[in-house]
Amino acid sequence: MTAMHRMTLAELVGGLSAGDFSSSELTRHFLDRIAAHDAQLNSFITVTEEAAMAAARKADEARAAGNAGPLAGIPLAQKDIFNTKGVRTSCGSRMLDNYIAPYDARVIEGFNDAGAVMLGKTNMDEFAMGSSNETSWYGAVKNPWDTERVPGGSSGGSAAAVAARLAPAATGTDTGGSIRQPAALCGITGLKPTYGRVSRWGMIAFASSLDQAGPMAPSAEDCALLLQAMAGFDERDSTCMNEPVDDYSAGLTQPIDGLKIGLPKEYFTEGLDSAVEARVREALKHYESLGAELVEITLPNSHLSAPAYYVVAPAECSSNLSRFDGVRFGHRCDNPKDLEDMYCRSRGEGFGDEVKRRILVGAYALSAGYYDAYYLKAQQIRRLISNDFAEAFKQVDVIMGPTTPTPAFRLGEKADDPISMYLSDIYTIAVNLAGLPGMSVPVGTVDDLPVGLHIVGNYWSEARLLNIAHRLQMDTDWHKQIPEAFA
């Protein structure tokens, strides 16, 4: 039998159903892999071994009794941004290093209801602010394809854990590309759903109008299984939309002949690595061979997406993070002399440099006299960007291009250059500003480092995106590749 960690999530579901192995055996296998390999990667903040084995035994009992959920006994990793009852939920920050969540986020509830087993909580950029997973209080995560390179961020811990098969799949969150960019750099599949498709209740907020949770796994087929447990209306989240939830696995193998693929001319210009472009164009040719049509389009305001995002996101983060003051929960400084000293030192000690940078930018953009010039103007640009996509989708069914301009860069390479770091999300940010669904699928390597193809759809088209990605993965095996050191 194929080693369990080399099997896809769909294959593991089948193996459990057929009785080829138990959830206890499967969970122990992955816990042992975490113990053996994670010291090289630093992909986990917390490993919940005892609770995982208890949940696995419970899943085995449920399966034996004939009342197993769709993911019963499947071990998963959860990004440490989701509240998990009784477990430290740190958001990669010293500020929440001592915070034990008193309740489960809606995403966690969904996986619990489906019978999944939580292996632990994955490392991340502090409060999801970063593109390299170097801003975590718990240290940088390493890319399993080359441990001297970044895995991407902010969901880099989840991406690295899945790529090295320390977990069959994981959750991530995406504010400006934080699922898709690390998925591309680590050679896995990652999906950011339409804004409002997955409840944000219990997910610690960075930028409330942009944040969205989504699945990260080797394949589109696996992501379909995960999204089924995550999607759905939640009245506790005022931004969650009451839209019907598709059967995401049902149409995976549908033919795509006649599909119109838009190629924005702005995405294939200076700044895109030529070897990355070559891998992307090879994938596009494969889609043509499946009956798709390539159409050049334009997204004329796309060059404004990064400056608009880096006003909107910091403004919302400065508001959201004001709650972390050392009073009710989280880090509190020692021996404050008065209330003001406690506020200042608790926040100064609890937050890292990148978080402080964004809080300051956001507070400035929202301050009296600057709100109209910065935040309001950025929101107006956001509308122009949304309109560009709306016009494009009158001509094409989906939009494709590179997920990132280059393969994974070296640890520390951009640490002192925030602007260069921000531009690593240049192709993904606009999708969040517009609230659209997007995903990254692996389409080859450059110098043995993975490259991702970015697929963007219209609102609520997750099932179609998964179908389009799966059709490519039926004919290619990039999503099955595992870094040699972890095979």
Active-site annotation, residues? 79, 154, 178
> What's the per-residue H, E or C state across 184-238?
HHHCCEEEECCCCCECCCCECCCCCCCCEEEEEECCHHHHHHHHHHHECCCCCCC
Phi, psi of 184 (to 5 degrees): -65, -45
Mapping DSSP to helix (H, G, I), strand (E, B) and coil, where does residue 449 land? strand
What Å distances lie between residue 107 and 75, 335, 381, CA to CA? 15, 38, 31
The sign of the dihedral angle between the CA atoms of 361, 367, 373, 378 is positive
CA distance 404 to 423: 9
Mapping DSSP to helix (H, G, I), strand (E, B) and coil, where does residue 28 land? helix
Number of H helices, E strands in the chain: 15, 11
User: What tokens does 37 get?
Assistant: 């390999």
User: Beta partners for 122?
Assistant: 44, 79
Pairing between strand 438-446 and 189-192? antiparallel
Query: Which residues of 336-413 form beta strands (DSSP E)?
Result: 398-402
Measured in whole angstroms, how far is the alpha carbon of residue 340 from the centre of its chain? 37
What Å distances lie between residue 244 and 191, 232, 484, CA to CA? 18, 8, 42
User: Cis before residue 302, ω within 30 degrees of 0?
Assistant: no
User: What tokens does 441 get?
Assistant: 């699928």
Q: Please, what's the largest Cα pairwise distance for the chain?
A: 71
Q: Which helix (H) or strand (E) holds 450?
A: strand 449-456
Q: Which helix (H) or strand (E) holds 285?
A: helix 274-289
CA distance 219 to 240: 26
Pairing between strand 75-79 and 44-47? unpaired
> What's the per-residue H, E or C state across 362-379?
HHHHHCCCCCHHHHHHHH
The residues, any chain, with a CB within 8 Å of residue 211's CB and separated by 6 or more, are: 128, 173, 174, 175, 200, 203, 205
